[in-house]
Amino acid sequence: MSHPSIVDGWFREINDKSFPGQAFSLRVDKLLYQFKSEFQDILVFHNDVYGNVLVLDGIIQCTEKDEFAYQEMITHIPLYLHSNPKKVLVIGGGDGGVIREVLKHDCVESVTLVEIDETVIQLSKKYLPNMSCGFTNEKLTIKLVDGFQFLKDLRNQDKFDVIITDSSDPEGPAEAFFQRQYFQLLKNALSNDNGIIISQTSENIWLNVNYLQRLTETAREVFTNVKYCSTMVPSYTSGQLGLLVCTMNDQIDLTEPTRFPTTSEQSELRYYNKDIHSASFVLPKWVENDLN
């Protein structure tokens, strides 16, 4: 097996559109899988430091070593902001990491995963077992459809307390997840004004703050309460990944959890706590001026 992104035994993540002028590399100690599905190019390889690595369209999606930093933050920030989340929708996230984290909340009664590419789910079950462990949970329903179309077809009775968009970067099938219409569909899919949505922003402050400014402004055209935060993920280009949190409830301070992890819940967490929650919203002065 071979792959164009692997040169001299090293995987190279090069994307001049999203990450101009720089690249990220990991040594490929073993090439496990490569395939071009109907929707995207898929690569899985093993690195002795980061473990198994999932790559979609040339961009690292997760590694076994550091995935929890992203999965916990994109999941627990919105879930601990909601006073009583019972129904949760996850769009994307076929690797199962977000599902695993959502199911740590005893108050959650049902989780719906909307994933366009079933291949990602099957590969995660085989190569990322610690992330895909929630796929057999009876609370989970999987919909193998486009997330944008799923929201357009949603019936009034099928609304959610928390919606997590765990999409890939805004190119190819995920491009629609970064437009105004998508935010409007997310708003319509919330059960009430207390609902919380969170989306990965692809970019962070060091890569393209102008893009983040436009994305934040787009979200504020739909939601009245919008905040940007971030988490540290070493295998992501520049080591930082941004998240956008939105709600229609102006009384919710997005920088402070509404609920706190129980003792049993906290014992299962490796990254998230209430202090990390608040600190993730702290921005350098120049970014604060641009975004807020």
- CATH number listed for the domain at residues 6-63: 2.30.140.10
Residue 163 in this model has a pLDDT that exceeds 80: yes
Q: Using a cut of 0.85, tell me whether the model's pTM lies above it.
A: yes
Residue 177 in this model has a pLDDT that exceeds 70: no
What DSSP line would sit under the chain, residue for residue? ---TTEETTEEEEE-TTTSTT-EEEEE-SEEEEEEE-SS-EEEEEEETTTEEEEEETTEEEEETTTHHHHHHHHHHHHHHHSSS--EEEEEE-TTSHHHHHHTT-TT--EEEEE-S-HHHHHHHHHH-TTTGGGTT-TTEEEE-S-HHHHHHT--TT--BSEEEEE---SSGGGGGGGSHHHHHHHHHTBSSTT-EEEEE-S--TTT-HHHHHHHHHHHHTT-SEEEEEEEE-TTSGGGEEEEEEEES-TT--TTS-SS---HHHHHT-SS--HHHHHHTT---HHHHHHH-
| pLDDT of res. 176 | 55
- The domain segmentation of the chain, as residue ranges, is 6-63, 67-291
| pLDDT of res. 144 | 96
Least confident of 37-41, 136-140, 173-177: 173-177
| Catalytic-role residue among 66, 146, 161, 166 | 166
| pLDDT of res. 241 | 92
Answer whether CATH 3.40.190.170 is correct for domain 67-291.
Answer: no
Active site residue 66: no
